[in-house]
Structure 1
Amino acid sequence: MRAVVHGKATKSEGCARNNLKKRPQAFRLHHLPLDVLRVILSQLSFKEAARTSIVSRKWKRLWRYYPKLVLTRDTMLGSSNAAGDHPTSNATTFIRRANSIVRQLSSSSSATLNKFIVKFPLLRSDADHIDRWVSLSGASRARRIVLDLCPEFEKFNDKDQMYSFPLHLFTGGSCVGGNSCVKSLCLGFVSLNLLQLPAAGTNRLTILKKLTLHKVSIAGDLQSLLLECDVLEWLSLTFCSLQHRDLVIHQPLQRLRYLRVLRCRLQKLELKALSLTEFEFANHQVPLVLGDCINMSMASVELLLPSDGFDYACTKLPVALPHVCDRLTLSMGIRTENICGLWFQAPLLMKGGSVFANLRHLILNVHIDGCPKASTGVLRLAYLLQLAPVLEELELHMCCVSTPFYTPDLDAAATSPVAAACLHERLRTVHMTGFYGIRGQLELAHRILRSTAALDRLIIDPRLKVDHYFRDRAYAGMGRTMATLCINKAQFPGTVITIL
């Protein structure tokens, strides 16, 4: 190889330079097809996509092809939203910036959206601006729509201030092309007037798979809308106000798999959903008619306080949820008073009735109220084992409101070795929390130990896992002491008893 002499390049270096000059022009990202650029943009966040406008002159309007419109506090206000800023000034800034983005997207004939999200506390007085944003989502055929206008403070939770959502813009007859394109609809703090919709059978939300309503005021018959959601798989109603307190759907929802109805003040819930696998419900004790949900695996039922929910749990729930198999979570209140001396009839309530024939895991969240000296109210919980003949695991999370009353004198009927026959053959694990050591809890522990044939482990934990607005009052130590004194581990050699 020739060496470099007096600053002259070698022969090989000169060839390399000539080859560089003959190479084609460097690859440019903006030469990619628009469809490819849209895919690349979709992998970015909304902020990152907007920043591409400063890359080059050719990319100045590229962000308009971003398939998601996300108008939230973070994207519109960002770091400028100081904690001390006035809510009115924040709302004004949010609206001004959102309008600027919507105006540019509206001027672009090629703007299409897969996702449209607005999350910011706005009121009916801002309807002119919200209408403009919602109209864009309809014109751009957005598939997922989220409009969450929930206020930050409960004192502003006034129904008269709710924005009226124009659902008619997304029904089949009003959509571009005559077909609805919304697959997921999530609304928060808005009003829905179903009386203004077209007559039934006009192809409403025919491809809607997920409907989530939170703090929504519904005027009209909700069931008339749900009946036309042929492929609905997910339905969630939380803190909603329904004009008709009875939610009754006579025709089956064939594809519904998840149903959540929380604190909607219903007087009755009735529907048919053969494919339902998960159910959540929080309400007062009302009739539940769920048809033959043979595929249900998990259910959660919260009976609102202050009523005693034991009888409802024993007689009504097994009829409504007979097929739940994997896990049932039941939250309720019970009272410890011996009401008219009728607590002994608790087993009679279940004779000849329905049971949870397939249930393997039961979680009980129990709010205990009443006289701390009475034990019968708590002891009734042992009868729930008869409702689940194949139960394998029981979690009992208790919260005692009253000041505990401690006594080593327990009821002989609850602690006698011959008082309780082996009622359960498969229960292996019991976990009790909130164990303050009151008489009812101690007798319940004895009844469970003597009513099970295959119990492997009993865990007693004085700490609270379920706190209904009450705090641990330093009774944990006393609960631990009472459990140690009153539960003789030697009497149950086949069970590992752990006192935490």
Structure 2
Amino acid sequence: WRTLWRFHCNLCFDGPNDPDSDTDDEFAGQDSTKMKRAKFIETVNSVIQQHSGIGVNKFSIRCGLPKEDSHHLDRWISFATSLKAKIIHFDLIIIDWPLEEVHHFPLEALDAQGGSFVQSLFLAAVSIPHSGIRGLTILRRLVLESVQIFGDFPGLLAKCSALEDLEIIDCSGVTNLSIPHKLDKLRHLLIDSSTTDIEVVELHAADLAHFEYKGRVIPIVLHGCSKLEKATIMFVDTKALAHTFTAVPSILPVRILHVQAIISKYAQLQKLPTIPEGMFMNLRHMTLIVEMQMTIMKFFN
């Protein structure tokens, strides 16, 4: 039993992120967090050093590390990729260094071990520089959160032809987000651009079934998404409610529609355009949440 853990298939490590909240002394809290972080690093390094290296399915790191400790991340990434883990999760909370100095995640390491192997990839608070990867041909789920994206992002996505679930949350570096037609297996797409510079969203995903968008009012064009069944639209602009029903025609065939919008005054509800009869012929369930200052009104059909 003492050595059984060395063959464990899921290695998940959660480290300290914020200063210790158990003390009122700010400096004492910082010292305590540093000690916990040092212990965390020691533990992770000890585990990966003693692990058998056989049958690793998932490797997950969730922690906040200062820049001087970033070399440990290189070692952990190398370990996960060398063992061809199917699920790789790196959530690197920024704690004390500028966002422009986030850790560079080497995507090329994911197809440098004799072929693609990762099926699910979650990256947070890192950057993915332009790389010449051949392709992540069996990647089914990709989640990018607070990631700095460099280079040809549509080109990168086109090399992930098996992708079924894509989530892009508060990422920077992409102005025109284009989902290429090669993602013909994509079923779920979530875009949260509340704090980013995305100006246009254009999709060519024939099998897309569930589309979610949160952010400013921008052009959203869904080409040939005839299988779309569910849409969730959350605009953060105060004059966006009418736009949901008039300027996003691609959501018309959906069966389930969730809409959330903000208005600056009640009169905006009375000025909504009349929806033509038969416009939502397939709609079976709709949730509309309208926020006005501190008031939330819910309507269910």
User: Shared topology, TM-score over 0.5?
Assistant: yes
> Secondary structure at 2:156's aligned position in 1?
helix
Say which of 224, 247, 257 aligns to 2:187. Answer: 257
Output the CA distance in 2 between the equivalents of 1:170 and 1:346: 50
Q: Is the 8 A contact 1:335 1:369 kept in 2?
A: yes
Say which of 185, 201, 212 aligns to 1:280. Answer: 212
1:114 aligns with 2:57: yes
Instruction: Write 1 or 2 for the structure with the bigger share of helix.
Output: 1
Pairwise CA distance, 1:320: 2.4
> Secondary structure at 1:363's aligned position in 2?
strand
Instruction: Pick 1 or 2: higher relative contact order, CA cutoff 8 A, min separation 6.
Output: 2
1:125 aligns with 2:68: yes
Output the CA distance in 1 between the equivalents of 2:286 and 2:266: 25
Pairwise CA distance, 1:273: 1.4
Query: Structure 2 vs 1, CA of residues 369 and 127 (structure 1 numbering), >3 Å: closer, same or farther?
Result: closer
Q: What are the superposed Cα offsets for residues 27-46 of structure 1, whole Å, 9 maximum, x if unpaired?
A: xxxxxxxxxxxxxxxxxxxx
2:167 partner letter: S
Say which of 254, 274, 280 aligns to 1:324. Answer: 254
Aligned residue pair count: 288
Question: Residue in 2 aligned with 1:87?
Answer: 33
> Secondary structure at 1:129's aligned position in 2?
helix
1:289 aligns with 2:289: no
Say which of 167, 170, 191 aligns to 2:127. Answer: 191
Pairwise CA distance, 1:362: 1.4
> Secondary structure at 1:346's aligned position in 2?
coil
Consecutive unaligned residues of structure 2, counting only runs of 5 or more, are 24-28
Output the CA distance in 1 between the equivalents of 2:266 and 2:221: 31
Output the CA distance in 2 between the equivalents of 1:142 and 1:70: 12
Output the CA distance in 2 between the equivalents of 1:132 and 1:112: 19
Output the CA distance in 2 between the equivalents of 1:168 and 1:92: 29
Say which of 86, 95, 98 aligns to 1:143. Answer: 86
1:69 aligns with 2:15: no
Question: Residue in 1 aligned with 2:158?
Answer: 227
Question: Residue in 2 aligned with 1:426?
Answer: none
Which stretches of structure 1, 4 residues or more, deviate above 4 A after TM superposition? none
> Secondary structure at 2:81's aligned position in 1?
helix
> Secondary structure at 1:359's aligned position in 2?
coil
Say which of 149, 154, 170 aligns to 1:239. Answer: 170
Output the CA distance in 1 between the equivalents of 2:149 and 2:271: 45
Output the CA distance in 1 between the equivalents of 2:272 and 2:118: 53
Output the CA distance in 1 between the equivalents of 2:285 and 2:68: 49
Consecutive unaligned residues of structure 1, counting only runs of 5 or more, are 1-51, 54-59, 75-80, 371-397, 401-430, 434-457, 459-500
Output the CA distance in 1 between the equivalents of 2:77 and 2:272: 58
Q: What are the superposed Cα offsets for residues 286-324 of structure 1, whole Å, 9 maximum, x if unpaired?
A: 01111222222221111013x31133123112x121211
Q: Is the 8 A contact 1:167 1:192 kept in 2?
A: yes
Output the CA distance in 2 between the equivalents of 1:274 and 1:228: 17
1:216 aligns with 2:152: no
Question: Residue in 2 aligned with 1:308?
Answer: 239
1:138 partner letter: T
Question: Residue in 1 aligned with 2:178?
Answer: 248
Output the CA distance in 2 between the equivalents of 1:272 and 1:129: 39
Q: What are the superposed Cα offsets for residues 448-474 of structure 1, whole Å, 9 maximum, x if unpaired?
A: xxxxxxxxxx9xxxxxxxxxxxxxxxx
Q: Is the 8 A contact 1:209 1:233 kept in 2?
A: yes
Query: Structure 2 vs 1, CA of residues 209 and 345 (structure 1 numbering), >3 Å: closer, same or farther?
Result: closer
Pairwise CA distance, 1:344: 6.1
Question: Residue in 2 aligned with 1:346?
Answer: 273
Question: Residue in 1 aligned with 2:296?
Answer: 399
Pairwise CA distance, 1:99: 1.2
Output the CA distance in 2 between the equivalents of 1:246 and 1:355: 29
> Secondary structure at 2:273's aligned position in 1?
helix
Q: What are the superposed Cα offsets for residues 237-281 of structure 1, whole Å, 9 maximum, x if unpaired?
A: 11211x231111342411111111112431011111121111111
Pairwise CA distance, 1:283: 1.2
Q: Is the 8 A contact 1:266 1:283 kept in 2?
A: no
Q: Is the 8 A contact 1:188 1:215 kept in 2?
A: yes
Instruction: Write 1 or 2 for the structure with the bigger share of strand.
Output: 2
Question: Residue in 1 aligned with 2:291?
Answer: 367
1:357 partner letter: M
Q: What are the superposed Cα offsets for residues 362-392 of structure 1, whole Å, 9 maximum, x if unpaired?
A: 111112259xxxxxxxxxxxxxxxxxxxxxx
Q: Is the 8 A contact 2:230 2:254 kept in 1?
A: yes
Pairwise CA distance, 1:356: 2.5
Query: Structure 2 vs 1, CA of residues 357 and 65 (structure 1 numbering), >3 Å: closer, same or farther?
Result: same
Same amino acid, percent of matched pairs: 28
1:356 aligns with 2:280: yes
Q: What are the superposed Cα offsets for residues 195-245 of structure 1, whole Å, 9 maximum, x if unpaired?
A: 2x116xx2x21100000111111112211111011110000111211x231
Q: Please identify the structure whose Cα radius of gyration is greater.
A: 1
Q: Is the 8 A contact 1:207 1:231 kept in 2?
A: yes
Output the CA distance in 2 between the equivalents of 1:285 and 1:336: 18
Query: Structure 2 vs 1, CA of residues 158 and 332 (structure 1 numbering), >3 Å: closer, same or farther?
Result: farther
Output the CA distance in 2 between the equivalents of 1:183 and 1:167: 13
